[in-house]
A and B are shown apart, each in its own frame.
Chain A
Amino acid sequence: MKKPIFIVLTLVLVFSCSSQTDDQTQNPNINNLGKGDTPNNDPNFSIEETCFDRKAEILKGNRELFLSDNLRWSCSDVAGVNTNNEDSRGQEYCEYFAALRIPPSEEGGLFGESITLGRNLETGSTPLSLTLTEDQKFYLEDHDSDVLGSCVFTSWHNDSNLEIPACESECPQVQGLPIDADKFRMKLPFNGNEAANYLVEDCVNAGLSGDYEKGKLTDELDPYHSDYFRACVLTDRAGGLSWRKSDTAVCALSMRLSECGCVDDAVDAAELLVPIVDTQNSFRGFPLGGWKSINSLPSGCSYVELGDNSGTVVVCDLSGNDILSNSNDLKGLCRSRYADNIVVHIPIPTQAFTCAPGDNQYASTCTDEPWIVTQ
């Protein structure tokens, strides 16, 4: 017979803060060695090495980023993005966190307040961990296959101020949290419309001016012969980060548009791909989907309907067992279980681009859709 669950009123959920100050003072080994929270904080970081890595992942793995009508990448952060020193996860125009209601301490008991774990704030983030009482553990175990929490993925740009049409009646909720900009809009400074717009502009401009590192076209062993590698290195010069999938993919598309004569004005190109905020064509953020299509999602995930079909907020199930077994870092579970298959898409207005490469050095490599980078 299973032991009954005891009510322990004095025990409450205790958060352990993810801010590092306390831990650092307690543990002198922390951050004295090893790698930082992002790849460029690794003492051995090199742009060339990271571009080789990204190129191998993107062009030789099974996640296809460059399609005819979409540019895309997964929400999952690349290897090297972690919580060392600070929680830097959420680098790909997609931020994620866990949301749940504090579990009851007894069968039939009430759920507590709604909380988020690992959600980015303007500075720092909400706590990563929750500490469960024995009774809460029993409750979660008794409800191990019930959905008691959510992984939230958002691509809502930090500078988009669009209202939520669905809130004109009643705002949709996630685990008891009404959707609003405060909690569900991305926070990291680079996860914005403007940053993406500028990146397109800068990479197109570089392509148009020819002022960037180029390989010898006739030398297949020259790493810059690779369209992706060339764009990856250029990303850094254009103000992006060469270790991100998103920045390098956006820059590769932009560079190829210019190399192949598909655009002649960087501002126009940027406006076509990422309309700046508060203009007629502006949008909330890049739509989320799956690898199958822009509007498919992995099993256990669904869209939060904001009323604008933007597809920018997705929730995925966290079961009682998930919460019990991963209470120290549910955001990490969101990353490992779902983030690789939640995909950020940039629709490409293919009709707007007619390519005439002229005498560009790379003219011979240009197809009708040169933004489909294959090498």
Chain B
Amino acid sequence: MDRYAIILSTLLAFSCSETSEEAIQTCTSGKCDGVGDYNFKSELVDNDDPVAKYLLKNANENGTISGDYSTFLDGIGQEMGCGKETEKTFTILMSNKDHFPRNIVTRCSDDAIRASEFTLSTQSDNGELTDINPSDFKMIAWDKNQRRYNLYEAKKSSSGDGLSVEVQPDSCLSCHTQSTRKGAPLIEWTPIMNELTNPWTLWNAEPDFRSHRFDELLNPNVASGSVYKTMTHQELLGSASDFELITRRAIDRVVSARLRDRRDDAEVGKALDLLYPLFCDESANYSSENHESGEVSTAVIIDDALRYLYLQIRPDNWPHSWLNDGRMRLRSVQNNLPPVNVMPVRGESTLQVEVGLVSRGSLSAEAVIALRALDYKRPIFSEFRCSLYEARASDLRKNFLLESQHETVSDLLPILFGELMQMEDSAGVTRSLIPQNGGVYANSELDVSSPVESIYAGQKSIEDFALELEQYFDEVSASSDRRALESERVRRGCLARQLFPSAPQIPEISCL
């Protein structure tokens, strides 16, 4: 049995519930209307974000405001200094909800950095699946002081006198804070835009681009619903291409805030949490071929982080397409296989932690390339790489001795990284997976039982590993047979479904 299957059988039972009824009904933190002496505003005083400011000025003590989503948008926009004319709506079809649309609204939309300070997203239908419910939505807002996103959820209040707001609702967390893999660190709320790159498969790509699957999957009844039409009116409709830019800014905020942990006083747990996404996947994104063009992101076969890492070594003079272009062209389609469609790739937020640690000088590009060279044909969901972390992290957490020269978390990172990059050989001797004299142990596919001796046979220079990747890139892009790609898509798709509650429906796969 695949080790992933064993691990997955013990996963925490997270569900990506949109309403999280249990969380709402228990009201353990006094977040429901009119419970005892609960004071809604006391929950907001530490929040330095535009939603908190708006609520403090406008909500009653139970957190209730009259109106609907547009009332909130206008009020919060005023706090941000972003008027109605800067509003845009971006629409995604929720594949786990029969492709019912979710509208995500931003203000200051022409400025992706500002726009990433706040979003409002609709959550449910009108009860008849014919329109969007204007009184059920979630909001995120960047807290400049705490350097994190604060979460808010608005619903019709039980007394019917407006919308009741819950602060930091639990229902947002299962999808946005970690993978379900046992031992994954709990991270701050992180944005998800599954299909982050062109053609943004389930997103409305208009008016800038022709949409990929959006038009065929949008229920025409919903498309003619009055709330949906109002929100996506021609002047308000924003293209997924712009929401990609806004999402990237939001990811930058979260990752950059997380990376600041390396400046903290030395603490083994913090260092290991920062190293986790280098070995195991905390998120996934999903790439598709650009319509029928054959053009697809290189990330479907080669980890995008490798491009960044090689450019850290040298910014130019690389003679390799995989490294220079970031996209590849697949040749003719045979075997009646459709274009590459919703292929899981390494998550942008996961990847950016790695890139950030290298660009900030905490780890060397060469050392991280040595990790990426192991099982490199599995840029995401490498059980081998994750097992390196899991085999040693617990022991390091308990037994690693801090020394006087370890002042900050950053000081610990290269040491702990080196510790994690080890495994025992057949004689029980611990061996490093970073060649002492430089270079990498390039192995296209490994499993947890792969012996060190065979891994060592893949030793080569960093330059030669780049060349090996180029040969792999050429082989895949020139091939007229997509079966290998399709097989890998199915493997990854099944794992994505199990590990990430927010994974989209991945077409044409069946998982055991």
Could you list which residues of chain A lie within 8 angstroms of chain B, going by C-beta atoms?
1-3, 16, 18, 20, 23-24, 27, 29-31, 33-36, 53, 56-57, 60-64, 79-80, 82-85, 87, 128-129, 134, 137-138, 141, 144-145, 147, 290-292, 296-300, 302, 317, 319, 321-322, 324-329, 332, 336-337, 340-341
Contacts and interface: CB of A to CB of B under 8 A. Distances in A.
A225 B210 CA distance: 26
Contacts of A62: 198-199, 205, 209-210, 212, 290-291
Contacts of A79: 321, 324-325, 327-329
A35 B30 CA distance: 64
Given A56-B295, A62-B290, A325-B356, A84 B110 contact: no
Contact of B321 (A35, A321, A322): A35
A80 B315 contact: no
A79 B210 CA distance: 22
B265 A298 contact: no
Ranked 10 nearest A-B pairs via Cβ: A34-B319, A83-B316, A82-B324, A61-B293, A300-B112, A79-B325, A291-B208, A144-B256, A299-B112, A329-B315
B39 to A, nearest CB: 31
Given A53-B329, A56-B329, A337-B245, A137 B315 contact: no
Contacts of A128: 315-316
B242 interface: yes
B483 interface: no
Given A1-B265, A128-B316, 13 more contacts: A20-B317, A24-B317, A30-B319, A56-B294, A57-B290, A57-B293, A61-B295, A80-B321, A141-B260, A147-B113, A300-B112, A322-B252, A324-B356
Contact of B317 (A63, A85, A290, A319): A85
- What does DSSP make chain A's interface, helix, strand, loop or mixed? loop
B249 A319 contact: yes
B241 interface: yes
A350 B224 CA distance: 35
B366 interface: no
Given A20-B317, A82-B318, A134-B361, A332 B198 contact: no
A261 B175 CA distance: 59
Contacts of A60: 290-294
Nearest to B409: A3
B265 A329 contact: no
Contact of A300 (B111, B264, B360): B111
B113 A336 contact: no
A23 B241 contact: no
A83 B252 contact: no
Contacts of B327: 79
Most buried by A among B205, B316, B321: B316
A23 B311 contact: no
Given A62-B198, A290-B208, A317-B112, A18 B315 contact: yes
B371 interface: no
A183 to B, nearest CB: 21
Given A60-B292, A145-B253, A332 B208 contact: no
Contacts of B198: 62, 340
Nearest to B108: A299
A325 B316 contact: no
A18 to B, nearest CB: 6
Nearest to A33: B319
A325 B111 contact: no
Contact of A336 (B210, B326, B360): B326
Contacts of B259: 141
A79 B212 CA distance: 22
B239 interface: yes
B359 A327 contact: yes
Interface string B425-463: 000000000000000000000000000000000000001
B374 to A, nearest CB: 22
Given A20-B316, A20-B317, A57-B295, A34 B470 contact: yes
A137 B262 CA distance: 13
Interface string B462-488: 010001001000000000000000000
Contacts of B116: 145
A155 to B, nearest CB: 19
B111 A82 contact: no
A362 to B, nearest CB: 25
Contacts of B112: 299-300, 317
A299 B325 contact: no
A56 B359 contact: no
A340 B241 CA distance: 10
Contacts of B109: 299
B264 A2 contact: yes
Nearest to B199: A62
A83 B328 contact: no
A371 to B, nearest CB: 20
Contact of B249 (A36, A83, A145): A145
Contacts of B239: 291-292
A31 B290 CA distance: 31
Contacts of B252: 144-145, 319, 321-322
Contacts of A327: 359
Interface string B255-280: 01101100111000000000000000
6 contacts: A31-B317, A57-B295, A62-B210, A302-B110, A322-B252, A326-B308
A90 B198 CA distance: 22
B355 to A, nearest CB: 6
Contact of A1 (B110, B264, B324, B360): B264
B65 interface: no
B67 interface: no
Contacts of B294: 56, 60
Given A2-B263, A62-B198, A84 B319 contact: yes
Contacts of B320: 34-35
Interface string B209-250: 110100000000000000000000000000101100110110
B290 A61 contact: yes
Nearest to A134: B361
Contacts of B208: 290-292, 296, 341
A322 B463 CA distance: 26
B312 A328 contact: yes
B352 interface: yes
Interface string B369-395: 000000000000000000000000000
B157 interface: no
Given A83-B324, A292-B207, A300-B112, A325 B355 contact: yes
Nearest to B257: A144
B408 interface: yes
A332 B264 contact: no
A69 B370 CA distance: 52
Contacts of A341: 208, 241
Contact of B253 (A144, A296, A324): A144
B132 interface: no
B115 interface: yes
A225 B355 CA distance: 47
Contacts of A296: 208
Nearest to A24: B317
B314 interface: yes
A299 B111 contact: yes
B249 A324 contact: no
A83 B316 CA distance: 5
A83 B245 contact: no
Contacts of B212: 62
